[in-house]
Structure 1
């Protein structure tokens, strides 16, 4: 996927405490504010090249119809790269930002944030198979890919 044209002001933490990005280990879906979500949605539609599902799937805002008998694992989708403050890049594999809620349907596990000034949220699904360290004292988030089932 190409680098998305997301306005920086839609991603930064504001002086009043609104905006920014949080991690939530208790939420399944990630949420992005409208400018980021719309850019991601457009890029995903261009990249996936599958028909957009003509039915809604509860909780998901973008789903695709898989070819008959083809599981999601067979669909090639590039990793999602989140460019974070300080130059860090979180590489999110397909299985951490797509889900197959029912056979034949592949859905983006990222939704539109319900409120413009609510922060972007990186969910537990995006964090799967990563060591994640929250350095609260230094206001840092550290992460590294791993295979949790091999630990």
Structure 2
């Protein structure tokens, strides 16, 4: 399901990512953004991903960086931390809607290592962005194909 992103926010700050990054190009049909319940993590094209990653690296304070953790980056040592305090993450859509995510949707916590890693990856060979199911967890999502709209509301999925 294609959606139109206008911008990405980290720590309440709109990141400096050109709006064209999110556009579906014609006639090739490349790029754009899909919301996909069949893809686990979320993916953004470089350099958008690098801008998102850099924003977290610059804003995260108080947790030591874990170098060379396989695949995910950045990662932090969160030993002894019960409630993660990390910068907020949100997506602003073209129609003005804002989807703000709880920290457990965009940082994966690995036990028993007590490491938390950003659950977003870059795409070097594709301009397509994917909002994966890890980011969508504990949201009720409505696909209104007749009106070409996407609805979302926080929900404890275990209670549905």
Runs of 4+ in 1 over 4 A off after TM superposition: none
- Please list the CA deviations of residues 55-108 of structure 1 after superposition, one character each: whole Å capped at 9, or x if unmatched: 222x31321222xx324x422013311011111111111000000134221100
1:77 to 74, 83, 86: 86
Q: How many residue pairs end up in the alignment?
A: 146
Q: Give the alignment's Cα RMSD to 1 decimal.
A: 1.6
Is the Cα–Cα contact under 8 Å of residues 65 and 76 in structure 2 kept in the other structure?
yes
**What residue in structure 2 maps to residue 7 of structure 1?**
18
Is the Cα–Cα contact under 8 Å of residues 133 and 142 in structure 1 kept in the other structure?
yes
Q: Could you tell me the TM-score, scaled by structure 2's length?
A: 0.83
**What residue in structure 2 maps to residue 128 of structure 1?**
137
Bigger proportion of residues as strand: 2
* Unpaired segments ≥5 residues, structure 1: none
**Shift, 1:35, TM fit:** 2.5
**What residue in structure 2 maps to residue 150 of structure 1?**
159
Is the Cα–Cα contact under 8 Å of residues 78 and 93 in structure 1 kept in the other structure?
no
**Distance across 1 between alignment mates of 2:45 and 2:108:** 20
1:111 to 121, 131, 136: 121
